[in-house]
Amino acid sequence: MVGANTGLTGVELLYDKVLSGLVSRREVIKDNAGHVIYENKEGNEERPRDIYLTLDKNIQFFAQEAVKKEAQKNRADLGMALVQDPNTGRILAMATYPEDPVKLPPVEWVYEPGSTFKSITLAAALEKDIVSERDTFFCENGAWPFNSKVTIHDHTPEGTLTLSGVIERSSNIGVAKIGLKLGIENYYLYTKAFGFGTKPGLGFYGESSGILRAQAKYRQLDLAVGSYGHGLAATPLQVISAYSALANGGRLLEARLVDKITDFNGREISREEPSSVRRAVSEKTAGRVKAILLNVVDKGTGKNAAVTGYHVAGKTGTSKKIDPKTGKYLTGRNVASFCGFFPADKPLYTILVVMDNPKTSQYGGESAAPAFQEISKKIITMKGIKPDAPEQFKNTLKDSSRPISD
C-alpha cells in the first residue's frame, strides 16, 4: 500500500523481505581524519529484488471494466472476475468491484458454488462409469419430496431429461439423483480431487480452504444437495482452478500469481514453473464433460456467455447466501456466477465471474454470463484468436424453445 514501509497484504506481505531486502546492521568507528579503524557487520547485506506477476495488464483491465459494468448494472454488493491459463495455472486477471487494496476476496471470500459445482458431480459420475450420455433422469416435474421435511426444487418444471439435458437445463433434481448414484465416498473423493476443502496454494495470509465438512458427517440429504453445490463453500480461486482442470484434460494445477524474481541488475533468480497437484479425472472424462458444457452455452442456461464463431464451454450458478452468525440462509440474498473456458477444443482461458447479492437478477446466466462474454470478446480481439471450425464439437441434442435460468 502507498505510504507503508512494509507489505500489508497479498504479494507485498508474502514477499516483504524479498521486496525490501534483508535489513543489515553496520557498526563503524572512525578516527579524526575520517578513516575507518573498526568495522563490524551483522546480517547478510542484500538489495531489494523485483517480483514479476503473472497478471496480464490488458486482461486485468478488461476484467476490471467488465465486472464493474455488470456489478453496477445488477446493483451487486460485490463483483469478481478471474481469468486463468488452464494449462499453467497462471492467474491472468483478478478483478473486484468495489476495489479494496487491503482485502483479496478471490482468495478469502467463500460462497456456496451452487450449480457451477454440477460439473464436478458430473465428472465424478462419468469417471466412475456410474452414468453415461445414454441415461435419462425423471426430474419430477420440478418438485421432488426428498423426505417428510425437505423438497428439492428446480427453477423450471422438467420431465425426463438426458444426462446432457440435466446439466444444460441445470436440474437440481436430476443432479441430486446422479449424486445419490455416485455415493458419499465417491462424491467426497472427487470433491477433494478437484481441490475443494484445501487451499489453492498461493500462500497468501488469509487464503481460505473453503468449507467442506468431514466425510463421516455426510448423510443422504447432504449428498443430494451437495451434488448441486449447496452445503459446501469455496473461494472463487478454488472454483476457477477446478474448471481449469476440466479444461486442460483433468489435471488440477497449483494456482500461480508470481511469475519470476529478479535481482537488482535484472538477472533472473527464480521462476515459478507450472506444478500439477494431481490428476482429478482422466482426459477422456474431462472431454465428455466439456462436450456437455458446450451444450449449456449453445442452448442452455449459459446462452449469454456465447461468443459468435467460437466454442465456449461453461456452467451457470445461483446459490443462496448464508448468515455467518446463524448458519441459516438469508431470504432474498443470492450469489450468481458463471465459469467457463474457450476455445473449447484447446482451451487457452478459463474465466469466472461472481456477483454477490445482485438486485436485478439472481441468476448467473443473466448477471454473470454477460461479463464473461465481454471479457472473452476483448481477449479474442487482442490476441487475434481465430474462429473455430464449424464442425468441431458438433452438438446432437435438439434445441429448446423454453426460456431457462440459473
Q: What whole-number distance in Å separates Cα of residue 189 and Cα of residue 376?
A: 33
Please classify residue 366 by burial: count the beta carbons closer than 10 Å to its beta carbon, then call 0-12 exposed, 13-18 middle and 19+ buried: buried
377: its cell numbers: 470478446
- Model pLDDT, residue 397: 40
The most confident of the ranges 189-203, 218-232, 376-390 is 218-232
- Model pLDDT, residue 52: 84
Q: What are the pLDDT digits (tens) for 340-392?
A: 999 999 999 999 999 999 999 999 999 999 999 999 999 999 999 999 876 55
Instruction: Over range 154-159, report the average pLDDT.
Output: 95
Q: Residue 13 has what DSSP assignment? A: H
Weakest-pLDDT range from 80-94, 270-284, 318-332: 318-332
- Whether 248 has a pLDDT exceeding 60, the answer reads yes
Q: CA 356 → CA 39, 150, 245, distances in Å?
A: 60, 26, 25
Give the DSSP per-residue string, 131-193.
--TT-EEE-GGGEEE-SSS-EEE-SS---EEEHHHHHHTT-HHHHHHHHHHH-HHHHHHHHHH
- Whether 41 has a pLDDT exceeding 60, the answer reads no
pTM of the model: 0.88
- Cβ neighbours, 10 Å, residue 199: 17
- For residue 160, the Cα-to-chain-centroid distance in whole angstroms is 31
Q: Which helix (H) or strand (E) holds 40?
A: strand 36-42
- Model pLDDT, residue 205: 78
- Whether 257 has a pLDDT exceeding 70, the answer reads yes
Q: What are the pLDDT digits (tens) for 160-185?
A: 999 999 999 999 999 999 999 999 99
- Whether 226 has a pLDDT exceeding 80, the answer reads yes
Query: Of residues 318 and 390, which shows the higher confidence score?
Result: 318
Q: What whole-number distance in Å separates Cα of residue 265 and Cα of residue 52?
A: 14
The domains found in the chain, sorted by start residue, are 56-383 (3.40.710.10)
- Model pLDDT, residue 273: 85
Instruction: Over range 256-272, report the average pLDDT.
Output: 81
